[in-house]
Structure 1
Amino acid sequence: MENNALPDTTVLLALLTYRMPFGKYKDWLIADLPVSYLEWFERKGFPAGKLGMLLSTMYEIRLNDLMFVIDGLKKRYPNGAG
């Protein structure tokens, strides 16, 4: 039996290494973006592609009070996931 409830770890680890390529928070890690910035994207629309997927994933993590997942990954991979 396949368990689809498990998170995709490659996406979660990408949140620790992928940097915002533009805007007010350029060069910030996606995992470190403030919730207000993620909420702005949720209202205005997430960009297409990988960046939009990562931003919307981070938004959902913050919205659902799941930062413990990100914090745990940061402890396990203190120098990033690479």
Structure 2
Amino acid sequence: MLDTQLQKEFLIQLANTKMPFGKYKDRYLIDLPEYYIVWYHNKGFPKGKLGQQLQTVYELKLNGLEYLIRNIRKL
């Protein structure tokens, strides 16, 4: 398990990361349509940091917690 500081940094980066390619290029990851995130969940998330971030977005959307990331971005 990541320590608290690393978790905080991960969430701050997630809040400010935009999709680097594709149909939704330059859209914040948390603002990607739910069906697109579910498609990635079914297809397989990309490797590396982007994949971890998209997987986290999936979990947040699944549990109705997107507002947490949007609130971080407002800070």
Kindly state the Cα deviation for residue 68 of structure 1 after the two structures are TM-superposed.
Answer: 2.6
Distance 2:74 2:18 in 1: 19
Q: What TM-score results when the alignment is normalised by the length of structure 1?
A: 0.76
Query: Do the aligned residues in 1 keep the contact of 2:16 with 2:28 (CA within 8 Å)?
Result: yes
Partner of 1:53: 52
Structure-2-length-normalised TM-score: 0.82
Tell me how far 1:71 sits from its aligned partner.
Answer: 2.8
What CA RMSD, in Å, does the superposition of the two structures yield over aligned residues?
1.9
The corresponding residue for 1:16 is 15
What does 1:17-36 correspond to in 2, within 5 Å? 17-36=16-35
Cα distance, 1:8 vs structure 2: 1.1
* Identity of matched residues, %: 44
How many Å apart are 1:72 and its aligned residue?
A: 2.1
Moved more, 10-19 or 58-67: 10-19
Instruction: Report how many aligned residue pairs link the two structures.
Output: 72
Q: Which has the higher helix share?
A: 2
Moved over 2 A (4+): none
Q: Residue 69 in 1 paired to residue 68 in 2?
A: yes
Alignment partners' CA distance in 2, 1:68 and 1:23 = 24
The verdict on how the C-alpha distance between 1:18 and 1:71 changes in structure 2, with shifts beyond 3 A counting, is closer
